[in-house]
Amino acid sequence: MFVVQRRPRDREAAAGVLIVPPFADEMNRSRRMFTLLAESLAGRGFLVMLPDFLGTGDSEGEFVEASWEAWRAQLVACIGHLREATGRDDYSVVALRSGALLAAGVLDEGDVPRPRSLVLWQPVIDGDDFLGRFLRMRLAAEMLASGERVTTQVLREQLARGESVDVAGYELPPALAEGMASARLAEMRPSVADRTLWLDVVSRPGTPRQAARSQLAAAWAEDGLALECEVVSGSPFWNSQEIVENRALVGRTADFLEQAHGLGG
């Protein structure tokens, strides 16, 4: 597994941060933001790791060989490597979009020590809904190419038969689709970290959070989660064809992690 690692330049790392990337093109379009975050955190004394999971980025294998369980296992391994590299149990997790489902699922299982904090950037809250949106990209492409109309149900049936589905150049394997579809933030224990920061990106200041997201956040808070929910103005960089930076999002995240780990002078 290929892992990008960023260390503090002039001191030993006081704690570690694992960045959990999103799915498919959203990962590629988020590279710049992850670089900015890693640089900011390293400057504050953190060792930062960003993995490319099986079949993605510079890691081994093809995308069609990936599975949700394999990615979960690699995430567990990354946390172990992060703790070994820092020589400390103290660590935090930052997860973007579908990466939030992957990270929260691993933390929910209790296979790794509880992190000091969890930061969710625009988390996907329902994996099945996210999968449906991804499959609709294939439908749009086919409509443009041939005018034929195919439904997501047909594609889901293809996956159920054990066949992969090509979507926007990604050969989506059944083992990955099935695991993603079964992941829901609402079904995970809210107390997966000591503190959690949920950051949504909105295009206009004052835009309210979607009802489903507000309801989930409220339910977590009622269950005793130490949760902070905020919105940050900016463009959805994970969907942009151009390189987009949101330094306010990076700054708020770095401030939160620094405070959570008690590193702020």
Q: Which residue has the higher pLDDT, 188 or 183?
A: 183
In sequence order, which residues have a C-beta less than 8 Å from that of residue 10 and are 6 or more positions away?
none
Split at pLDDT 50, 70, 90, the class of 147 is low
Taking Cα atoms as reference points, which of 84, 83, 29 lies closest to residue 57? 29
**Could you state, in order of their start, the residue ranges of all structural domains in the chain?**
2-125+192-260
| DSSP β-bridge partners for residue 235 | none
Split at pLDDT 50, 70, 90, the class of 146 is low
Report how far residue 123's alpha carbon sits from residue 129's, in angstroms, rounded to the nearest whole number: 13
At 165 the three-state DSSP class reads strand
Q: At residue 32, does pLDDT exceed 90? A: yes
Tell me what the mean pLDDT of segment 7-29 comes to.
95
Tell me what the mean pLDDT of segment 129-158 comes to.
79
Q: How many CA within 13 A on the CB side of residue 199? A: 22
Report how far residue 146's alpha carbon sits from residue 149's, in angstroms, rounded to the nearest whole number: 9
Q: At residue 40, does pLDDT exceed 70? A: yes
Provide the 10 A C-beta neighbour count for residue 160: 11
pLDDT of residue 240: 93
Tell me what the mean pLDDT of segment 118-140 comes to.
92
Task: Give the chain's mean pLDDT.
Answer: 92
CATH of 2-125+192-260, one of 3.30.70.2860, 3.40.718.10, 2.60.40.1180, 3.40.50.1820: 3.40.50.1820
| Contact present, 249 and 121 (Cβ < 8 Å) | yes
Cα dist. 211→62, 76, 134, 202 in Å? 37, 32, 22, 14
Task: State the Cα angle at 220 between 216 and 221, rounded to 5°.
Answer: 115
| Contact present, 193 and 134 (Cβ < 8 Å) | no
Report how far residue 72's alpha carbon sits from residue 213's, in angstroms, rounded to the nearest whole number: 24
Residues of the chain above pLDDT 70, percent: 95
| Contact present, 48 and 42 (Cβ < 8 Å) | yes
Residue type, 165: V
DSSP state of 234: S
Residue type, 30: S
Tokens found for residue 205: 């200041």
Residue type, 70: A
Tell me what the mean pLDDT of segment 242-246 comes to.
95
| DSSP β-bridge partners for residue 230 | 199
| Contact present, 193 and 114 (Cβ < 8 Å) | yes
pLDDT of residue 23: 93
